[in-house]
Chains A and B, each alone.
Chain A
Amino acid sequence: MKVGPVSENRLVFVGSAKGETLEGEIRSPREDSDETALRERCRAGDVSAFEQLYQTHGARMKSLAANLLGSRSDAEDAVQETFLKIYRGASSFRGAARLSTWTYRILVNTCLDLRRRKGRAPDTAAPAESGEPESKLRTPAADHPLRLDLEASVASLEEKHRAVFLLFEVEGFTHREIAEILGVPEGTSRGLLFESKRELQRLLRRRGIAGEARA
């Protein structure tokens, strides 16, 4: 087994038997102390600390929110609302969870609240919603034959299944992190991922692309 490059908060063990990461989250003491320092600055209301948090996690937050909400502008609103909630609540943050995990937890809840308020499912044609050509919205594997169908199918998943699938498969969080973000046991996160992939297979088959799913 090889150890892959550091990807955001975790080391990725590539070439595992499962073809997926092996939950190899490793945090160095320096990362922990950086996180602690950032958390303390946020708690003190230091705006530059929030900006640092935004620089580190903003892109990933927007991506997750866009997939949960199906709209780029809604995603930006959700990220803004999340930062406001963190800003307002930072002084009461006690550090039982990591600041970043807490941030994503608030983001996911904010997105789910926004969706419930709007009472609609994610718009699968989201990238073009703002009138911006899709080519300008960079997607790492935009040319994958399954992408559009998969995007539409993911939008049909139930809330928690969709969240777990997006967090694990798209954003690369570990099950341990997902468990903290969603407030569920790690085993539940694994179970939800299994169920969501099962459901996606079923939905893709219904779309008549079972053969392509094996490509």
Chain B
Amino acid sequence: MSGCRRFEEATRGDDPGAWGALVAHGSECADCREELAAWEAISHAAPGLKKSWDSPQLWPRIEAAFAAQPAEAAGSAFPARRRFAWIPLAVAAALFVVAMIGLQVFRPSFGERELLTSRSLPKNPLLTEGTLTEVEKSEEAYVASIDRLSRLAEPRLSQSDSPLFVSYREKITLLDSAIGDLRAQVEQNRYNTHLRRELLAVYREKQHTLEQVVREAKS
């Protein structure tokens, strides 16, 4: 390699004048002259690396691969989004179930309370910030799904005066009131797992009640 700094300055930069100066300098500096010759030899040989061959089957292959793609792939992305719109909801519901199962697993029964407390349960029964965020997200998705169920049951609940539906109405009113109270308490103490479990139990009860209403309405 040339020990002359002018070579690197000229070859690294984009100033053609510097290159011209280097060529002139090469007539006096043997190192740079040799370096220049090697440099240019590489540039002259490089186009020889270009590859060219016929591939008559390549475009038909690509075209066939296009045809195998879903119709919406190349067009508007909107239909694709609508088709898979349920995925985030399903993921949120799954997260909620997992979070709730986790809560149940870590809730000791009376007989095991001492044993679990001393062995594996964390001393602090409160949720961590990360877990809380996940639980709240999952809870939102769950509440949204119960709201949808409510909308389904609403026409029959409000229109029928049969004793059965009147009792369903009263039960749901009570449950909503309990949910409201519990939510207010949870707001005061967001990290309390016990309150959240109670809230979940009331939501479940509401869900079952609404499912019964929908079933009754169909039958």
Contact residues in B for A191 (Cβ distance below 8 Å): 12
Known A88-B69, A201-B39; judge A151-B59 contact (CB<8 A). Answer: no
| Tally of contact residues, B, Cβ under 8 A | 44
Collect the chain A residues with CB atoms within 8 Å of residue B48's CB.
139-144, 146-147, 150
Question: Do A16 and B75 contact each other (CB < 8 Å), given the known contacts A47-B63, A80-B58?
Answer: no
A136 close to B53 (CB less than 8 A): yes
B39 neighbours in A (Cβ, 8 Å): 197, 201
Determine how close the nearest CB of chain B comes to the CB of A213; give it in whole angstroms.
Answer: 4
CB distance A59 to B74 under 8 Å? no
Cβ contact within 8 Å between A139 and B50: yes
Please choose the segment from B13-21, B130-138, B144-152, B203-211 that sits at the chain A interface, where 4 or more of its residues have CB less than 8 A away. Answer: B13-21
Which A156-215 residues have C-beta < 8 A from chain B? 165-166, 169-171, 175, 190-191, 194, 197-198, 200-202, 204, 210, 212-215
Number of A-B contacts (CB under 8 A): 162
CB of B51 within 8 A of CB of A150, answer no
B216 within 8 Å of A by Cβ? Answer: no
Name A147's closest neighbour in chain B (CB-CB).
B48
Q: Which of B14, B45, B52, B74 contacts A175 (CB 8 A)?
A: B14
A88 vs B14: C-alpha distance in the bound complex, in angstroms?
38
Residues in chain B near residue A214, CB distance under 8 A: 34, 37-38, 41
Main SS of the interface on chain A? helix
Interface residues in B5-33 by Cβ distance below 8 A to A read 8, 11-14, 16-17, 19-20, 23
Contacts of A215 in B (CB 8 A): 41
Contacting residues, chain B, for A145 (C-beta < 8 A): 45
Take A80-B58, A201-B38 as given contacts and tell me if A62 and B1 are in contact as well, using a CB distance cutoff of 8 Å: no
- B158 adjacent to chain A (CB < 8 Å): no
B62 in the interface, Cβ–Cβ < 8 Å?
Answer: yes
Tell me the A46-105 residues at the B interface (CB within 8 Å). 47, 50-51, 54, 58-59, 62-63, 66-67, 72, 75-76, 79-80, 83-84, 87-88, 90-92
Residue of B nearest to A191 (CB): B12
State which of B19, B52, B55 has its C-beta within 8 Å of the C-beta of A139. B52
Q: With an 8 A cutoff between CB atoms, is A121 at the interface?
A: no
Q: Is the beta-carbon distance between A80 and B46 smaller than 8 angstroms?
A: no
Q: Are B52 and A59 in contact (CB under 8 A)?
A: yes
B219 at interface by CB-CB < 8 Å: no
Which of under 10, 10 to 19, 20 to 34, or 35 or more describes the interface residues of A?
35 or more
Asked if A44 is at the interface of the complex by the 8 Å CB criterion, the answer is yes
The answer to whether B51 touches A137 (Cβ under 8 A) is yes
Q: Is B65 an interface residue, CB under 8 A from the partner? A: yes
Q: A45-B74, A140-B50 are in contact. Are A54 and B62 (CB under 8 A)?
A: yes
B61 CB-CB contact with A under 8 Å: yes
**Residues from chain A with Cβ under 8 Å of B34 in the complex:** 214
Residues of A near any B CB (own CB < 8 A): 16-20, 22-23, 44-45, 47, 50-51, 54, 58-59, 62-63, 66-67, 72, 75-76, 79-80, 83-84, 87-88, 90-92, 126-127, 132, 136-147, 150-151, 154, 165-166, 169-171, 175, 190-191, 194, 197-198, 200-202, 204, 210, 212-215
Can you list 23 A-B pairs with a CB-CB distance of less than 8 A?
A17-B19, A19-B19, A19-B40, A22-B16, A58-B58, A62-B53, A75-B51, A80-B62, A83-B65, A87-B73, A91-B76, A126-B51, A136-B53, A144-B44, A144-B45, A150-B42, A169-B46, A175-B14, A190-B12, A200-B42, A201-B38, A202-B1, A210-B38
| Extra 16 A-B pairs, beta carbons < 8 Å, given A80-B58, A141-B44 | A17-B20, A19-B43, A45-B75, A50-B66, A79-B58, A83-B62, A91-B74, A91-B77, A140-B47, A141-B47, A146-B41, A146-B42, A170-B47, A190-B13, A212-B41, A214-B34
